[in-house]
Amino acid sequence: MKNITTIARRELGAYFNSPIAYVVVAVFLLLSGLLFFQTLFIQQTAELRELFDGFWTTLLVAIVGPAITMRLLAEERSNDTLELLLTMPVSDWEVVLGKYLAALGLFAFVMAGMLVFAGTVSALGPLDKGPAFAGFLGLFLVAATYMAIGMMTSSFTKNQIVAFIGAVLLCLILWLIGKVVQVFPPTVQPLLDWLGMDRHIGNMARGVIDSRDILYFFTLIGSCLLITQATLESRRWR
């Protein structure tokens, strides 16, 4: 556990010692703020649901998540420091979890900034705290899943741009697949419907916290991190 926290602190510090963290936080809050205040002033609706379940927010998270994680392993491989890291007295899992926790920590700063939107709704009228909590939790789990995908693609290549593009494509496929499930054969439709992220985040945006949705997110996150760990382990034997 000590190695995981040490790696996480190092990576989180690296984020804030470069413009990456500040750009990610600023861009996400600026664009999500525009979406929120558009709903507030143009549609004259003081609610958070569109912020959690809207197309533009989903697209924004699908870009920001991989942008946060694209450098975590690809940069190590590009600088030939990954092999050095793997020779240290740390396990592959500790490397993966430490770097992943740093990415989650950075997005937690983003989520903290988004509390301003909840405060705005509360100032204008009663805030339904249950759906708001479920929505924030759902958005964080979506970002956590997208960042796990980004970690996985970052372990495949030395090129950060390739890792970023690959992760964004996978994230968008996960979101879109549930919307086009009807074009596939009936035998695979239940599986594709379950894989589609839109249904799961939609439930949480409505304020419904279902254990099946939580299991969905943790299954995807765990699978991606397992693949990342297996990729790192394979490098030890080359």
Give per-residue pLDDT as tens, 116-143.
Answer: 877 777 777 677 777 778 888 988 999 9
Alpha carbon of residue 120 to chain centroid: 25
Are 60 and 168 within 8 A, CB to CB? no
151-200 pLDDT, tens digit per residue, is 999 888 888 889 899 999 999 888 888 777 777 788 888 888 888 888 88
| pLDDT average, residue stretch 96-122 | 85
Residues in the chain: 238
Query: Is there a contact between 180 and 159 (Cβ–Cβ < 8 Å)?
Result: no
33 close to 114: Cβ distance less than 8 angstroms = no
- Looking at the structure of the chain, the number of domains it has is 1
Q: Is the dihedral of CA 216, 218, 222, 225 positive or negative?
A: positive
3-state DSSP assignment of residue 123: helix
- Domain residues for the domain of 204 are 2-236
Does the predicted model carry a pTM greater than 0.75?
A: yes
